Amino acid sequence: MKNWVILGGVLLLFVVLVKEWRRQRAPQVFTTTSGQVEMCLFCHQEKPEKVHAREVVGCSPCHLGDPLRTDKALAHRGIVKNPGDLRVADRTCGNPACHPEMPSQVKKSLMATNRGIINTLRRYWGEIPDQPSVRPEDDVAYLLKHPELKSTALDYYRKLCGSCHLWFEKGKFPDFLKEKGGGCVACHLIPGPKEAKHPRLTRKIPTENCVRCHNRSGRIGLTYQGLYEDEGYGTPYLDGDFGEEMLPDGRFVRPIPPDVHFKAGLVCVDCHLKEETMGEGKTYVHFEESVEITCVACHGGDGKTAKGRMVPGIKKEKGNLVFKDKEGRIHPLKAPDPVKCRHPVHRRLSCQACHAKRVPQCFGCHVRMDPQQRQTDKLTGKETPGAWEEFKSYQRLTTPTLGVKGKEIVILVPG
């Protein structure tokens, strides 16, 4: 008995020695400039951009884990790869010392809830009363929590639309879906220099980040950049290859004259305010309740949006309003033509009714569901029976049809 105890003790001592020998010791205790212990910096060389500099912020305020440990397994407990994911954003980006008000607002925004898409779809398909209304269940967060909630429209939404919202987990799905979603970083992340080994966070959201989602239905993200998704199947073929540009998801696009604002170098967030994109803490059903930028805010107006907010880019220069874009370039602002635009006979016209000469239009849009096949539910990531496919009869890039919305003549686009 006694020998066994001694043997056990010796063995224990041996284990301790081996463990100590294999342990990687840090040369010093690493701290951030504010004096917070951040042992992550011992192993990690990644360098985010200046605002979130490694020496200032460290790693753990964003990526969680245990910054007091040097042992990899212990230090990495509770770590998150993507701090922007809305599931953790309250504790990461939204922590009390950083951006505390943002996560709750963003979670209410249409890009997170998809409320408009879900509500409209279910109304069209006769699943809920045909009156637009704020319903708690028309929300991605709700559907994520309630996978048991089933209906034909929801099945369609989950399988075909379910990848275009901020709850979408970045990197969870293969192919072009890999780059989509990610909560805060869906918009705010851009690739960093290779030697930094860490992407950069930015407030100058590049157009391509928006267009990762805003490229279907009205195709505004494509049209803005002067791209038209056509039915040419990549023709004309050149040198044995497709002669057209291909989107990451495999659709072909051909060049058309871009929007004048794109030509002037403006990106989406030059016009669109943070209250529109990230929400202002209110619950809306449709995007037009959230969108407040108008053409006249800059062109002939006083620089204020429909909700009375000052457009951030508008500056006064020698008595005139000018527009300063995110890159710091100054653009003069043209007022509407006093005769053509302001003639009483055209008083009901929206600016777009005349100034959008060509709009992609998809006629005879329809979907088909094959109950024999299976398709991935983009919310749960699981394959379930029933595969949806979208079809169109024909697609044209042509002058848009006009119609009446309230007291205004607006563009009507099928799709």
Partner 1 sequence: MKSRVSPWASWGLCASFLLAVITGIIINYPYRAEIPLISTVGIEGTVPFGALFRYLHYYSGQLAFLLLIWHTTEALLGQSYRYRRPFFWTTLISTYPLTLLVLFTGYIIRGDETGLLAGRIAENLALKLPLIGELINRLLFAVMEEGAHRAYLAHVFLSWGLLVGLISWHFRLRRLELQDLALWASVALLLALLFPPSLEFAPLATHAKGPWFFLGIQEALRYFSPYLAGLLFPALPLLLLWLCKWWPKRAALGLLLWHVVYLSFTLVGALR
Partner 2 sequence: MDPHATGKARSCLSCHASPKTLGLGYGTLSYLGKGRWAFQSSERSQSDLLGLDFPLSALTNLKGEIFVNLSREDLRPFNPEEMKRILRVGLCLKCHQDFSDPVMMNWRPEMRCPVFKE
Which residues would be at the binding site for partner 2 (CB under 8 A)?
120, 124, 131-132, 218-221, 223-224, 257, 259-261, 286, 339-340, 343, 345, 351-360, 363-364, 366, 393-394, 398-406, 410-414
Kindly state the smallest distance separating residue 4's Cβ from partner 1, in Å: 12
Residues in the chain: 415
- What phi-psi label fits residue 171: left (phi over 0), alpha (psi between -120 and 50 degrees) or beta? left
Please answer whether residues 326 and 270 qualify as being in contact, where contact means their C-beta atoms are separated by less than 8 angstroms: yes
The helix/strand/coil state of 408 is: strand
Transcribe 62-92 into DSSP letters.
HHBS-TT--SHHHHTTTB-S-TTSTTTTTTT
Single residue of 5, 174, 320, 328 touching partner 1 by CB under 8 A: 5
Give the closest residue to 41 by CA, choosing from 70, 3, 84: 70
Q: Which is nearer to partner 2, 387 or 410 (CB)?
A: 410
Q: Six-digit token pair at 391?
A: 């079809």
Q: Which is nearer to partner 1, 8 or 129 (CB)?
A: 8
In this chain, which stretch among 63-71, 107-115, 244-252, 407-415 interacts with partner 1, using CB under 8 A?
Answer: 63-71
344 part of the interface to partner 1, by CB under 8 A: no
76 part of the interface to partner 1, by CB under 8 A: no
The helix/strand/coil state of 134 is: coil
Distance in Å from the first CA to the final CA of the chain: 83
Site string for partner 1, 203-242 (x = CB under 8 A): ----------------------------------------
87 part of the interface to partner 1, by CB under 8 A: no
Compute the distance between CA of residue 187 and CA of residue 112 in angstroms, rounded to an integer: 12
106 by Cβ neighbours in 10 Å (0-12 / 13-18 / 19+) ranks as buried
Residue 109 near which of partner 1, partner 2, none (CB within 5-8 Å, type-dependent): none
Residue 98 near which of partner 1, partner 2, none (CB within 5-8 Å, type-dependent): none
Residue 20 near which of partner 1, partner 2, none (CB within 5-8 Å, type-dependent): partner 1
Q: What kind and span of H or E run contains 361?
A: strand 359-363
Beta strands in 5-137 (DSSP E): none
Q: Which is nearer to partner 2, 192 or 226 (CB)?
A: 226
Kindly state the smallest distance separating residue 71's Cβ from partner 1, in Å: 8
Half-sphere exposure of 14 (CA within 13 A, CB side): 6
280 part of the interface to partner 1, by CB under 8 A: no
Kindly state the smallest distance separating residue 101's Cβ from partner 1, in Å: 15
Kindly state the smallest distance separating residue 355's Cβ from partner 2, in Å: 5
Kindly state the smallest distance separating residue 3's Cβ from partner 1, in Å: 12
Residue 360 near which of partner 1, partner 2, none (CB within 5-8 Å, type-dependent): partner 2
Kindly state the smallest distance separating residue 37's Cβ from partner 1, in Å: 5
Residue 355 near which of partner 2, partner 1, none (CB within 5-8 Å, type-dependent): partner 2
Kindly state the smallest distance separating residue 80's Cβ from partner 1, in Å: 13
Site string for partner 1, 9-48 (x = CB under 8 A): x--xx-xx--xx--x-xxxxx-x---x-x-x--x------
Peptide bond into 248 cis (omega under 30): no
Task: Using the structure block, give the residue that is written with the tokens 């290779």.
Answer: 194
Kindly state the smallest distance separating residue 66's Cβ from partner 1, in Å: 6
Q: Which is nearer to partner 2, 222 or 379 (CB)?
A: 222
Burial 123-155 (b: 16+ CB within 10 A, else e): beeeebeeebeeeeebbbbebeeeeeeeeebbb
Compute the distance between CA of residue 185 and CA of residue 88 in angstroms, rounded to an integer: 12
Kindly state the smallest distance separating residue 375's Cβ from partner 1, in Å: 40
* CA distances in angstroms from 34 to 51, 61, 162, listed in the order given: 15, 13, 42
Residues lying near partner 1 in the complex (CB under 8 A) are found at 5, 8-9, 12-13, 15-16, 19-20, 23, 25-29, 31, 35, 37, 39, 42, 60-61, 66-71, 74, 91, 95-97
